[in-house]
Amino acid sequence: MSPFLQTIRRDLILARRQGASAFLAVGFFVVAASLFPFAVGPDPDVLASIGAGVIWVSALLATLLSLDRLFQADFEDGSLDLLVLAPQPLFLLVLAKTIAHWLTTALPLIIAAPLLAMFMAIPPEGFAPLLLAMLIGTPALSLIGAVGAALTVGMRRGGVLLSLLVLPLYIPVLIFSVASISAALIGQDGSPAMMLLGALSLFSLVLAPPAAAAALRLSLE
C-alpha cells in the first residue's frame, strides 16, 4: 500500500477509535440546524426560504469545529515530524489527511442533510441540488481548512486564530452553494453557481495541499 493510502487508512482508523468524539461535528450540525425552526417559527414558507442557508452555515461551522483534528494530534505525539521528514512529498501526505478529514466529517454531514432539509420544509425538488452542492463544495471547506490548521498547529488558543483565518475564505463557497440551491427551488438554472462552486473546489485542490505543506514546515521550524 502506498504511503498516500496508508495515511488515509491510518487517519480513518484513528477516527474510528475516537468513538463518539469523531461524530461531534455531525452532532453539532444536526443540533445547530434544528434550532432555527424553533427560533423563526413553524411557517413552512419562511423555513424553506432560509433552509439552504441554515444547513450550509451549520455545515460550515461543523467543519470548522473539526479542523483542529487535522494536525494537532500528530503534532502532540510527534508523528507530524515524521511526516515532514518522510521521503514522500509532504503535500501528498497533507492531501491524504485532508481526504480522511472529509470522509470522517463532511460525508456524515452530507448523509444527514436530507433529514435536515425535511425539517426545514425544503421542497423535495431541492434535495438533489442540496446534496450535489454539498458534495461539490465541502471538499473546498476541508482543503481551505487544512491551510488554516497547518498555520496554527502548535499555537496556544490556535482555534480562535484558525476561525479568523478560515471563515473569510469560506464565504465564496457559502454564496455559490446557497445560490445554486435557491435557483433550483424557484425553477431557474442553478448550474452556473454550481460550476463556480466546483471551480472553487478544484482551485483549492491545486493550491491548498502545497500551501498547507509549506505552512507545516514553517510551523515546525
| CA distance to 36, 89, 146, 158, per residue, from 55 (Å) | 10, 36, 22, 26
pLDDT above 80: residue 23 = no
Q: Judge contact between 193 and 183, C-beta under 8 A.
A: yes
Percent of the chain with pLDDT over 70: 97
Tens digits of per-residue pLDDT, 52-104? 999 999 999 999 988 887 888 888 888 888 888 888 889 999 999 999 999 99
What's the grid cell of residue 174? 457559502
Between 18 and 214, residue with greater pLDDT: 214
State how far the Cα of 33 lies from the Cα of 22, in Å rounded to an integer: 19
| pLDDT for res 83 | 83
Q: Which domain holds residue 132?
A: 3-220
pLDDT above 90: residue 206 = yes
What single-letter DSSP state applies at residue 2?
A: -
pLDDT above 80: residue 22 = no
The number of domains in the chain is 1
| pLDDT for res 180 | 92
